[in-house]
Amino acid sequence: MRAARRQMLQEQEASLKGDSKGNHAPSSITKASLRSGKSLGRAVLGRCLQVLGMTFVIAVVNVPLYMMLLFKDWVAQ
């Protein structure tokens, strides 16, 4: 318990020392881009591609299920 508190205090002190420089990034994308050296546009493009990829995966799973349900209802009538 004491070791955890000590570690938390050390992390807080380290974060306060880092914040004293005045470099406050407004979003997590900008923070990541500043740290990695990537441009903001490249980070936004990467996030958009990630969202499109996940949307594609969800569509690939759900469209066949939806079609099966439609076919089942069509055959039942």
Q: Model confidence over 4-44: pLDDT tens digits?
A: 667 766 776 666 665 455 555 555 655 655 566 678 889 99
**Sequence spans of domains, the chain:** 38-77
Residue 50 pLDDT greater than 90, yes or no: yes
The Cα–Cα gap between 46 and 32 comes to 12
The Cα–Cα gap between 59 and 53 comes to 10
pTM of the full structure: 0.43
Gyration radius from the chain CA atoms: 24
**43 and 32 in contact (C-beta within 8 Å)?**
yes
Residue 73 confidence (pLDDT): 81
